Amino acid sequence: MKRTIKLRIFSFGTAFFMLLCCLATAESGPDGSRKSPTPVALKAAKVWTGTGQVHDDALVLLRGRQIAAVGKDIVLPAGCEVIDLGSAQIAPGLIDPFTALGAVGQNIEIIDPIHPEATAEDVFDRFHRDFERALAAGITSVVITPSLDNLVGGTAVAVKTAGTCACSRCRVLRRGGPLLLTLSEAAQKRNRAPTSRIGAIDLFKQTLARARTPAVHGETPSPRIEALVRGELDAYFYASWRYNLDTVIGLRKEYGLKLTLVGLSDAWEMIDELAAAGMPLILGPFNALTAERELCVPGRAQAAGLEIAFTSGAPGFKPEGLRSSAALAVRYGLERDAALQAMTLHAAKMAGIVERVGSLSPGKDADMVVFSGDPLDLSSKVLRVYVNGTPVYAGACCGGCCAESEVCP
């Protein structure tokens, strides 16, 4: 029997659900002991796991904050509540691995071009409405990075888009990484070094050399730069044009850096070099004005064995651009499973949070999106979003069959 859950949406509705996210695991019995969470199973017409497996007429079993099982023939525990979502489809929560959500204007430091000890965690506003918009687009996790105004901009922070507290269990997925590096034109200033591309490259090389052999240079290097050259800290390298790619590949090879390449606008000319380097790519955002040669890059990169992810460009662009970027890439040659993984599993790997999110796998956080249809069909609506097993967003009614913003898949 199909069950309809009525989630009335008020201006404070999302904040209320976020609060529930933090309180859900705090339930206790009369004697003060912690109660075991009541198991809940969501039944859907199709379940996309994000690992390449797709189950028809399947269940996702939740136990508190985590996924307990996924599949068609799950043995449900006694007392399990079953929620029938009808023709809806379930996918992992989407992940945007390169954003400035909740931190625009607060993540800039333009005096010192090398600023590795800064961290985006210190400045993001977890109550910002950016996160509500991301939830409405099905995005449950994001990586917030420092600005591109420094060669070394500090470390990013990976957070969930729901949750009112900043504790590691509810909201923050990863602290202190990845480190953001760039050779972008934004990092070249008239009033401080570097003032040119050649100066930027030289300063980069000097910084890495000092960290590798501090005794030779007589300086105390940044702990984060030291961790980077020792291979203990990964980094995003933003390189917008192909003329920076040879430099990035050379630095990666010389110092053994763990790099994910971001923002390469003309990657269509560099697929062979990128494949040889084996660096993951964060691409996008794509839209109707994006050149066809750029839209072909994801498919060609995947064929060459590269892992890719997409960014929506939020908040400068709408967060819905994450899904539309993937859909456009599918139209121009990217396989559908690879497109979904680019928004989930691969993005989680690049962000260093794959142990908790990125797929519907037992033991991972129960972050999910309920779509009215295929997640890569842009006519499919976001019906509900779950974070840590708690419903935190309900979309408007999709079929006119219910009143007052009730959700009925």
Which among 325, 358, 340 is positioned nearest to 54, based on CA atoms? 340
Which among 378, 366, 369, 373 is positioned nearest to 21, based on CA atoms? 366
Q: What is the mean pLDDT of residues 206-228?
A: 81
Q: What is the mean pLDDT of residues 333-348?
A: 97
> Which fold, 94-351?
TIM Barrel (3.20.20)
For residue 167, the model assigns a pLDDT of 59
Where do you find CATH 3.20.20.140 in the chain?
Answer: 94-351
Where do you find CATH 2.30.40.10 in the chain?
Answer: 13-92+360-394
For residue 46, the model assigns a pLDDT of 97
Mind listing the pLDDT tens digit for each residue in 236-273?
999 877 888 888 888 898 888 999 999 887 888 889 98
Mind listing the pLDDT tens digit for each residue in 166-196?
555 578 999 998 999 998 877 778 777 788 8
Structural class in CATH, domain 13-92+360-394: mainly beta
| CA 167-171-176 angle, 5° bins | 80
Kindly tell me the burial class for residue 337, based on how many C-beta atoms sit within 10 Å of its own C-beta (0-12, 13-18, 19 or more).
middle
Is pLDDT larger for residue 181 or for residue 150? 181
Kindly tell me the burial class for residue 165, based on how many C-beta atoms sit within 10 Å of its own C-beta (0-12, 13-18, 19 or more).
middle
- Provide the whole-model pTM: 0.86
**Angstrom distance (rounded) from CA 234 to CA 357:** 18
